[in-house]
Structures are given as C-alpha cells and as structure tokens.
Structure 1
Amino acid sequence: MHYTLRHLEVFLATAFHENVSMAADSLAMSQSAASASLKDLEQRFGIQLFDRVGKRLQLNDFGKSLRPHAEALLSQAKEFEGLLLQRGQSSQIKVGATLTIGNYLAVPIMAEFMSRYPGSRVELTVENTSSITEKVRNFELDIGLVEGELQDTNLDVIPWRNDDLSLFCAPDHPLAGRPTLTDDDLLHAEWIIREAGSGTRQAFERAMHGLAPRIQVRLELQHTEAIKRAVEAGLGIGCLSTITLQEAFRRGSLLPLYAPQRDWVRQFYFILHKQKYRSAGLRNWLALCQEEGAGQFSTYGPDE
C-alpha cells in the first residue's frame, strides 16, 4: 500500500484547518513532519490536493473528491482499533444537535447510549440548524439532529420524530386566557422569537404562512431560556417547542395560547453526509434515537 493512516490524518487535518501549522498542532506533530507527510502523499501519486493561496491551503476539486473517502477509511480504521482495544464495546461519535434537541433530548440519549455501550464516548455540539448542517457537510460531525427542514445534495436527511410548537405568554398578558387567537390577534401581538437560521424560526414562519412578513417582531434571541424570560417579563408572546415549556406551564409562570387554524406540528431530522461511513457506533446511536422517538424510553420527566 502506497499511503498510510498518518497520510490520511494529515490530509484531513489540513483540509479542515487550511493551514499546515494548525493541522500539525491538532495532530501533536511538528509542522515540518506534517508538511513532509503531505508532500510525500502528493509525490507518491504524482498529484496535487491543495491550491496554495498565501498561507492557506484550499482543497482543489480533486482533493474535495477524495476527502469523503479518506474520512470513511480513517473512521473504519478507528472503529477497528476500538474493536481491538475494547472487544467491540467501545464507540466514539461526534453528534451535533440544535438547541431544543441538544438541551432537552440529546443528553438523556447520550446517558442511555453510554450505559448500553460501556467505554463509548459521545461528543455533543449544540448550535442552530445552519451551523450543525455546515459542520456535518464539512465532516466535523458524524451526525446532526436538527429541527429545520433542508435540502442539500451532499446530505442524507432522514425524518426522526414529530414535535409540537406552542404559543405562550405571561399570565398578565392581555391575550392570556383567550380560548383561541385569530390571525388578527397574531398580527397585532408583539413577538419574541428565535433568530434566522434556527429550525424553530423556520417552523414558526411556515406555520405563520401569509402572516410572517407582517408580524411585529420585538426581539430575536438565540437562546430558548432568554425567550422564555423575555415573555415572562411581559415583552411579548413567544413560540417554542412544547418540550421546552412544560415546566413553565406546570408552574404557571407562562401560559399556553392556541391558534388551531395554524399548523404547529414540525419534524425533527437526522442529517448525515452521504459519503460518511456508518460505523457500528453510529448505527447504534441512530437505533437508540429511533427508540426514543417511538417512546420506548423517556427522555424527560412528567414535570419537565
């Protein structure tokens, strides 16, 4: 074989950092050793993988075509090493989740996963849908659990489970206690909503089709808890996943609002790069998430 796993590691690290020095640091190598490894790989096959732009190394088209294959080979090698070291019980996966999923669903699933597969490690990144999508596309994450609908020719987008959005307000808000809200009520309310690029914002705008461009947005906030606090303070009404509001509804610090003429149901999705190697750990993670989606184990208690 005319290449080594170290060649692949240096190639992928350089593709990610676009800088040999940073790639070397990430692999605990000297810069000269990393440069030599990259040069050796190119010379062995008479190829060029990067375009050199100043101090940056950008993958050329040929390098981009090789990257997913290198990712898959390295993933299989790591899985093989895990099998040797832990007799098949160990897995390491990098999971990305959007804020609602990451804060309210992913951690219990992680706990169950590590309980079932001792020695396994799950790295969780929590950001909005657009950020998670970019990281999966760039092979920084093995899998994404997202709220937003998307179409990307590089990604497999797999339905996971349904989720309901809830409208809500403070107990002393003028709309509190109304049996239902009309579209006119929705137009005249002041709103505290998630930022553009989030799955919740996308689902909200879909549910508010025909009204969204005309609503009065008082605040756009990135974090669920900040939106809940702003609504509690009487700054407006909000719209978030029901999962995130159950405790506040139970306490009575927030009250649900109802607009049944609008569709507040949305879908959660798995996203994976189409050329991502599906390791045993990744397959086990998907299966466990499907169990959660089918309600076979609880990810949050009745008071949450």
Structure 2
Amino acid sequence: MRYSLRQLEVFLATAQHDNISRAADTLAMSQSAASGALRELEQQFGVRLFDRLGKRLRLSELGRQLRPQAENLLAQARDFERSLAGEEVSGRLQLGATLTIGNYLAVPMIAAFRARYPGADIALNVANTATIAEQLASFELDVGLVEGEFYHPDLETLHWRPDELQVFAAPGHPLAGKARLADRDLLGLDWIVRESGSGTRQTFERAMHGILPDLNIVLELQHTEAIKRAVEAGLGVGCLSRISLVEAFARGTLIPLQVPGRDFQRQLNIILHRKKFQNAALKRWLQLCREAVSDTLGADTDTQRGPGAGPDSPD
C-alpha cells in the first residue's frame, strides 16, 4: 500500500482547517511532520490535492473528489480497530442539532446514549439548519437533527418526528382572552421571531403566506429563550415550537394564542452525508432516534386516553 492512514489523517485535517499548522495541532504533530506527510502523499502519486494560496490551502478539484473516500477509509479503519479491541460501540460522535432540538430533545437522548454505551462519547454542536447542513456537507459532523428544509446533493434527509409551532403571548396581552385570532388580528401584532436560515423561521413564513409582507416584525433573535423573555416582557408575540413552550405554559408566564386558520405543522428531520461510512456508534444513535419517536408516540397515546385508561379501555 503506497499511502498510510497517518497521511489520510493529515489530508483530512488540512481539508477541514485550510491550514497545515492547525491541522498539525489537531493531530498532535509538528508542522514539519504534517507538511512532510502531505507532500509525500502528493509526490507518491504525482497529484496536487491542494491549491496553495499563501499560508492557506484549498482543496483542489481532485482533493474534493477524494475527500469522501478518505473520510470513509479512515472511519472504517477506526471502526476495525475498535472491533479488534472488543469495543462494540466506542469513539466520538459529532452531532449537530438546531436550537429547539438541541435545547429540548437532544440532551436527554445523549444521556441515554452514554448510559447505554459508556465507551462512546457525543459532541453536540447547536446551530441553525443552514449551518448544520453546511457542516455536515464538509464532514465536520456525523449526523444532524434539524427543523428546517433545505436541499444539498450530498445530503440525505430522513423524516424523524412531527412538530408544530405555537403562537404565544404574555398573560397580560390585549388578545390573551380571545378564543381565536383571524388574519386581521395577526396583522395588528408586533412579532418577535427567529432569524432567517432557521427552521422555525421557515415554518413561520410558510404558515403566514399571503400576509407575511404586511406583518410587523419588530425583533429577530437567534435563541428561543431570548424570544420567550422578550414576549414575557411585553415587547410583542412570538411563534416557536410547542416543545420549547411546555414549561412556560405550565408556569403561566406565557399563554398560547389560537390561530386555527394557519398551518404551523412541520417535520423534524435527520440529515446524513450520502457518502459517509456509518460506524457502530452512528448506527446505534439512529436506532435511539427511532426509539425516542416510538416512546413519544406511546406517551401521547396514553395522555389522550387519560390517566386511568388501559389499552382496551373504550373511548
């Protein structure tokens, strides 16, 4: 074999950082050793994997084509090493999640995963849908859990679980006692919403089709908690996932506003790179995602039946 796994590590780290010094740091190598490994790899095959732009290195067209294969070769080698050591599920899983999922769903799932597979670890990166998709496409993440819709030729989208946005206000809002809001009510409100590029904003804009240009959006904030605090302070009304509002509604610090004429339903999704090798840790994480949906649907069914109803209880 005319290349080594160490050379692949240097190639991939350089592709991620666009800089040989930072690549060497991540691999605990000297800069000269990393440069030598990369140079030797290129010279062995008479190819150029990077274009040199001063101190920055950018993947050449050939480098971009070979990167997915290198990622998979290295992932399979690490998986093989763990199998030799008798470790079924171990190593580090890079998870990306959008804000609602990261703050309200992912953390208990990570705790369950670590309890089940103590040899494995998960690093969680929370960002909006556009950022998660970009990081997954560049192999910085292994899997993404997102709220938004997007298209990327290298990424695969799997439907995960349903969700729904909810319009809400502070208890003292003038429309707090109204049974349902019509479009004319929506047009008279001050809105505090998520930023463009977020899945929540996408769903909000789709739900408000026809009147969106005439809505009075007074604030755009990147964090759900900031939006909730602003609404509690009486600065306007918000629209977020029901998942993120359960505790505030229970405390009575926020109240739901009913908008039956608008569709706020959406789908939460899992995104994967089409060319990425799925090691044991990633496969087990996807299994846990499926189990979490089954548990949620079962809990919802039990709630609808009532506390004393059994599986055969009449409606």
Classify the TM-score, shorter chain: over 0.9
Q: Tell me by how many angstroms 1:36 deviates.
A: 0.4
Q: Tell me by how many angstroms 1:289 deviates.
A: 0.5
Tell me if structure 1 keeps the 8 A contact 2:50–2:60: yes
Matches within 5 A, 1:135-154: 135-154=135-154
Deviations 1:114-154 (A, max 9, x none): 11112111111111111111110110000000000111111
Matches within 5 A, 1:11-50: 11-50=11-50
Report percent identity of matched pairs: 58
Q: Distance in 2 between matches of 1:86 and 1:269?
A: 33
Tell me if structure 2 keeps the 8 A contact 1:292–1:298: no
Q: Tell me by how many angstroms 1:288 deviates.
A: 0.6
Q: Distance in 2 between matches of 1:176 and 1:217?
A: 19
Q: Tell me by how many angstroms 1:238 deviates.
A: 0.3
Q: Which runs of 5+ in 2 are unaligned?
A: 304-315
Partner of 1:268: 268
Amino acid paired to 1:59 = L
Partner of 2:199: 199
Q: Tell me by how many angstroms 1:178 deviates.
A: 0.9
Matches within 5 A, 1:69-148: 69-148=69-148
Q: Distance in 2 between matches of 1:296 and 1:254?
A: 24
Q: Distance in 1 between matches of 2:90 and 2:160?
A: 25
Distance 1:123 1:230, change over 3 A: same
Q: Tell me by how many angstroms 1:87 deviates.
A: 2.9
- Name the stretch that deviates more: 55-64 or 72-81: 72-81
Partner of 1:288: 288
Q: Distance in 2 between matches of 1:184 and 1:135?
A: 41
Q: Distance in 2 between matches of 1:212 and 1:154?
A: 32
Q: Distance in 2 between matches of 1:178 and 1:140?
A: 47
Tell me if structure 1 keeps the 8 A contact 2:89–2:281: no
Deviations 1:7-44 (A, max 9, x none): 00000011111111111111111111011000100111
Q: Tell me by how many angstroms 1:81 deviates.
A: 2.0
Partner of 1:164: 164
Q: Distance in 2 between matches of 1:74 and 1:188?
A: 57
Q: Distance in 2 between matches of 1:214 and 1:152?
A: 31
Matches within 5 A, 1:149-228: 149-228=149-228
TM-score by length of 1: 0.96
Distance 1:122 1:298, change over 3 A: farther
Partner of 2:313: none
Q: Secondary structure at the match of 1:294?
A: helix
Distance 1:82 1:296, change over 3 A: farther
What's the RMSD between the two structures over aligned residues?
1.5
Deviations 1:78-134 (A, max 9, x none): 212222334314242110000000000001111111111121111111111111111
- Name the stretch that deviates more: 97-106 or 50-59: 50-59
Q: Distance in 2 between matches of 1:159 and 1:246?
A: 23
Tell me if structure 2 keeps the 8 A contact 1:7–1:41: yes
Q: Distance in 2 between matches of 1:274 and 1:187?
A: 43
Amino acid paired to 1:37 = A
How many residues end up aligned between the 2 structures?
A: 300
Runs of 4 or more consecutive aligned structure 1 residues displaced over 6 Å after TM superposition? none
Q: Distance in 1 between matches of 2:139 and 2:39?
A: 23
Partner of 2:243: 243
Deviations 1:241-276 (A, max 9, x none): 001101110111100001111111101111111111
Q: Which runs of 5+ in 1 are unaligned?
A: none
